């Protein structure tokens, strides 16, 4: 659907429009105000904002051209505290492991970013190569300084919040998967809670999957691997959590493998070897993430899309 403001045609991707319309009055108002916001930003930052980029659902993202003719990307976030955390994380990272931030405006929930190339998913890199690159990038991203006063307490620890999410969604969705999957995920979550050590926590990306790893146009400091992350969450957690998120994916590869467990263990061992962190902890986080992601997608996206996570988790449980 197109919206016109001051003669400018604004195309809002369907996924963004749907998310905004379903998230409450504040995001609906953001959607209505979006055309004027884009016009205001063009004036404020002296930009020409082009057509939107596809992929995301919680922000309007589009290519832009700066006054000096350089290519960039503008991202306008829906009303959310998480977007301010994303801005803060990128600003503190200073391009080390992450996309470089060129401008930002908290009030408008807007950031101007360096333009990047295709993602690892678009490039169809082999899983082993992808895992090695992601580990290299994460080791840089984990060097991001903590925000002033940033701390983590047990009630906010990711194992605790994911355990609550699993418990709530399993009941809300009327038990969409085998109970043994949630039982095992909750067992692993309790182990992670017992091992909770705030001193080991880093600024985690939170969702470092291959679609969030984009190619840089030229190699630079902080992007020696040729890729950087976008869309950080920026909460505190131990490094093994991010590595477990990486392990969470690969559903199609795991389901097509002659032995799902053998291949998943191979990926987990590679993550441990490349990162230098504990293989058992990565495995547990990966299973927690696999089950919680299946439930989350089933609740807020599509039950069909959530099934591969349940199916792979079942095979790993049986193995």
Average pLDDT over residues 235-258: 98
Backbone phi and psi for residue 215, each to the nearest 5 degrees, phi listed first: -80, 135
Decide if pLDDT at 58 tops 90. Answer: no
The label of the residue with tokens 């470089």 reads: 100
Render pLDDT for 19-36 as a digit per residue (tens, 0 to 9). 887 778 898 999 999 999
The label of the residue with tokens 């998310």 reads: 19
Render pLDDT for 258-308 as a digit per residue (tens, 0 to 9). 999 999 999 999 999 999 999 999 999 999 999 999 999 999 878 999 999
**Average pLDDT across the chain, whole number:** 94
Q: How many residues does the chain have?
A: 319
Give pLDDT, residue 286: 98
Give how far Cα 202 sits from Cα of 74, 100, 179, 257, Å: 27, 20, 32, 34
Confidence of residue 5 (pLDDT cuts 50, 70, 90): very low
Average pLDDT over residues 209-219: 96
- Give the C-alpha separation, 209 to 170, whole Å: 24
- Give the C-alpha separation, 37 to 109, whole Å: 10
Give pLDDT, residue 319: 66
Check if the beta carbon of residue 312 is closer than 8 Å to that of residue 255.
yes
Decide if pLDDT at 312 tops 50. Answer: yes
| Percent of the chain residues topping a pLDDT of 90 | 86
- Give the C-alpha separation, 55 to 13, whole Å: 9
- Give the C-alpha separation, 270 to 228, whole Å: 20
Ramachandran category for residue 312: left, alpha or beta (phi over 0 → left; psi -120 to 50 → alpha): alpha
34: its two tokens: 């979006």
Decide if pLDDT at 6 tops 80. Answer: no
Give how far Cα 308 sits from Cα of 7, 166, 189, Å: 45, 17, 21
- Give the C-alpha separation, 69 to 92, whole Å: 26
Strands (E), 234-288: 236-237
């Amino acid at each position: 659907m197109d919206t016109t403001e001051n003669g400018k045609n604004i195309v809002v991707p369907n996924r963004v429009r749907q998310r905004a319309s379903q998230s409450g009055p504040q995001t609906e108002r953001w959607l209505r105000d979006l055309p004027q916001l884009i016009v205001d930003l063009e004036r404020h930052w002296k930009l020409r904002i082009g057509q939107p980029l596809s992929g995301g659902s919680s922000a309007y993202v589009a290519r832009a051209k700066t006054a000096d003719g350089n290519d960039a990307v503008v991202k306008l976030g829906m009303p959310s505290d998480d977007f301010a955390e994303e801005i803060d994380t990128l600003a503190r990272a200073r391009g080390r492991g992450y996309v470089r931030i060129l401008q930002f405006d908290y009030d408008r929930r807007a950031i101007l970013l360096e333009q990047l190339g295709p993602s690892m998913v678009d490039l169809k890199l082999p899983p082993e190569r992808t895992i090695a690159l992601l580990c290299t990038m994460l080791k840089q991203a984990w060097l991001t300084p903590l925000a002033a006063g940033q701390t983590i307490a047990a009630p906010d620890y990711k194992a605790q919040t994911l355990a609550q999410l699993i418990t709530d969604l399993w009941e809300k969705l009327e038990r969409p998967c085998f109970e043994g999957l949630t039982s095992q995920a909750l067992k692993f979550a309790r182990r992670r809670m017992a091992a909770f050590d705030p001193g080991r926590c880093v600024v985690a990306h939170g969702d470092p999957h291959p679609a969030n790893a984009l190619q840089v146009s030229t190699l630079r400091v902080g992007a020696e691997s040729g890729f950087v992350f976008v869309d950080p969450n920026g909460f505190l957690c131990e490094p093994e959590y991010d590595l477990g998120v990486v392990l969470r994916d690969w559903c199609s590869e795991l389901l097509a493998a002659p032995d799902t467990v053998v291949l998943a263990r191979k990926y987990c061992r590679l993550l441990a070897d490349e990162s230098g962190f504990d293989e058992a902890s990565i495995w547990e986080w990966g299973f927690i993430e696999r089950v919680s992601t299946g439930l989350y997608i089933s609740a807020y996206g599509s039950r069909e899309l959530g099934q591969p996570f349940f199916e792979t988790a079942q095979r790993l449980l049986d193995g």
